[in-house]
Amino acid sequence: VTDEMGQKQGLWMAYNSGGQLMGEVEFLNNQRHGTSRTYYPYEKVMEETAYQYGVKEGDYKKYYYSGQVSMEGQYVAGKKEDKWTKFYSDGSTQWEGTYKRGVRDGDWKYYDRKGNLVQSVSFKNGVDTKALADQKAAEEKKKADAAKKGGKAPSGSKPGGTSPTPGTPKDSTAKPPVV
């Protein structure tokens, strides 16, 4: 439904060519406002996102086709915030961690399907704190080695002679998944 100004109001539903419901969105004054849902075939909910005045705000849930929750968390002002959890299809936790203003912050834990902790990573403002500390230690070692030899380390040089992506060590092997 549109109002006399041509703005979307109320519940809008989208269907595929076969007549199956694919999504529904609540609008207020032409902005998403309320819960938005997308669907798998046969009207099984795939994803639910809460909006306020066009911005993601509130609960978020994604589901497996079986109906089991795949991921859940919260949005505040359009950014991921607080605890987020990803689940395996059997309902056990795959990973859990917190966001602060849309970036990973705090301890993130990764589990195998049996529930055993396989990795724990600490983030500060989206940066893996251990990887950053390892990179700084390698740079300091290189400077110290160069000073012992009487030489000077070239400005801006990185261990191994290459420039890794800022905030990550060159030879980091255990990287947490991108979320």
**DSSP 3-state of 81:** strand
User: Between the ranges 2-6, 81-85, 135-139, where is the mean pLDDT highest?
Assistant: 81-85
pLDDT tens column, 30-73: 999 999 999 999 899 999 999 999 999 999 999 999 999 999 99
Mean pLDDT across the chain: 88
pLDDT digits (tens, 9 = 90+) for 96-121: 999 999 999 999 999 999 999 999 99
Our CA angle for 142, 148, 149, nearest 5°, is 90
Average pLDDT over residues 87-93: 97
pLDDT confidence tier of residue 154, bands split at 50, 70 and 90:
low
The predicted pLDDT at position 14 comes to 96
Of 114, 103, 102, 64, give the one whose Cα is nearest residue 86.
64
Q: Taking residues 69-95, what's their average pLDDT?
A: 98
Proportion of the chain above pLDDT 90, given as a percent? 72
How far is Cα 157 from Cα 39, in angstroms, rounded to an integer? 51
**91 neighbors 166 (Cβ within 8 angstroms):** no
Model confidence at 22: pLDDT above 90: yes
Q: What phi and psi values does residue 133 have, to the nearest 5 degrees?
A: -65, -40
